[in-house]
Amino acid sequence: MQGPARVRVVGRIEKLMTVEGSAALPLWLLYEEEIEGWKSAQAAHVAAWLAEHQFKAEKHRVLLVPDRHGSALLAIAGLGKRQGELSLWHASGLAERLPPRRYRLAQDFTAADATAICLGFAYGAYRYERYRPAKPERLAILETPENAERAQVALAIEALTWARDWINTPASDLGPSKLAAAVRAVAERHQAHYREWVGDELLAANFPAIHAVGRASAEPPRLAEIRWSPRHGAAQLPRLALVGKGVCFDSGGLDIKPGAGMALMKKDMGGAAVALALAHMLMSRGLRAELQVLIPIVENSIGGNAYRPGDVLATRKGLTVEVGNTDAEGRLVLCDALALADAERPDLIIDFATLTGAARVALGPELPALFGTSDALTADLARSCAAVHDPVWPMPLWMGYDEELGSKIADLNNVAASGLAGAIFGALFLRRFITAAPEWLHLDLYAWNPKERPGRAVGAEAQAVRGVFSYLLDRYGTV
């Protein structure tokens, strides 16, 4: 996984963003409000060409403009109506929509804008090619402006490509053992400590809930751990724990999903993919914190030894859980991993999970639901995510609902009797397993783009990686 992915991504970056260039075509990026003023400053035949094509700088529309002899003179990409600041999504469709040749930005942009343009340009060139090569195509090439943060773009694209590839890969080729191998590869990349508990080792080490959810699969369940610390001389560092839900496929268990509900369940390890991509970026940048990454990995399958509705499961925390629904398995595998992280009293725990359909009903596929131990904490993260156009949406951790997770025979149930507020109940369940860490954040992701958009094909979406990365760099700094 690691070697081929790295070569592929770096190769793509080198092809899409180059500092070489002699015959690069000027590329103008213009808002609708700017087009008339720009057009009035051009030669008459340029203005006539734009009028002929009724080009008004609509978002994602591009136009190649010839000179008087028919040769290419310049290109224009529309940014649409000016709404806020320039983002990578303004440029995400350029690599595939512009005619395939070399371009250079015709305007001077700030370092932040130049970096966003380069990131969007490269992001939109992603292709998932494991089973079928993409149709032969030549993509446009963008010369990197001198003030763009080239290394940061390359790191982000590498991490996001890994995450998208993992999410896009079906469980037949990314089951529990393969996902654990990916975790190990990330650890080895950074010379970090790696540990893994497999099968009955989970019972011996007191991870009974993870074992129960995954025991019916042909591949045994496991828990993968990375521990990393930056190389420096400081005596004490804050500790950060990242936890990612790694359900490689979710049939729903004995509470089996209908076919339509099962169709995309290869993506139920999207939380693990996001946590790993984020960890790679943090370690690459030398985050000034000790890092623990925990990925509980299972396949929620059906078999003679599958856990059942009505079963009472033990957990690492010591709480007993009555199983109200085997299709609410994500919170069961997460609870053991969260208890392990919490016992070491880290400064902050963040978990990522494709946890509830209710979050999608509330916010749709593009907005991950965000819960946390305080409104100030969630507001800080939401601001960081918004600043890099990787949005999340704070939701209430409404303790008034907590008692509805009660059980008559166990400490709690994994679902509530109510059919309402499902995303909140999922977060409240996880909150029961955080008792020592002062701060905790939970992101309920969709990890999928369900519709075609410029530079964003239907498929995996590594939500919140860039936003949480920005927040953590601001919070902890680098060594």
Q: At residue 140, what are phi and psi to the nearest 5 degrees?
A: -65, 150
Distance CA 383, CA 136 (A): 40
The first and second tokens of residue 273, run together, are 């993919």
The residue assigned the tokens 């060594």 is: 479
Task: Kindly report the number of other CB atoms within 10 A of residue 255's CB atom.
Answer: 18
DSSP letters for 17-52: EES--SSPEEEEEE-TTTHHHHHHTS-HHHHHHHHH
The first and second tokens of residue 312, run together, are 């009472």
Grouping H, G, I as helix, E, B as strand and the rest as coil, residue 452 is coil
Q: Does residue 267 contact residue 259 with C-beta atoms inside 8 Å?
A: no
Say which of 61, 184, 266, 331 is annotated catalytic.
331
- Region of residue 36 (left: phi > 0; alpha: psi -120 to 50; beta: else): alpha
Sign of CA dihedral 137, 140, 141, 144: negative
Measured torsion, CA atoms of residues 13, 15, 20, 21, in degrees rounded to the nearest 10 = -130
Say whether 56 is catalytic.
no
Task: Kindly report the number of other CB atoms within 10 A of residue 180's CB atom.
Answer: 22
Say whether 257 is catalytic.
yes
Convert 134-156 to b/e letters by CB count within 10 Å (16 or more is b). eeeeebbbbbbbeebbbebbbbb
Greatest CA separation for the chain = 84
Say which of 56, 101, 102, 257 is annotated catalytic.
257
CB burial class (10 A; 0-12, 13-18, 19+) of residue 161? Answer: buried
Grouping H, G, I as helix, E, B as strand and the rest as coil, residue 239 is strand
How much is the CA Rg of the chain, to the nearest whole Å?
A: 24
Active site residues: 257, 331
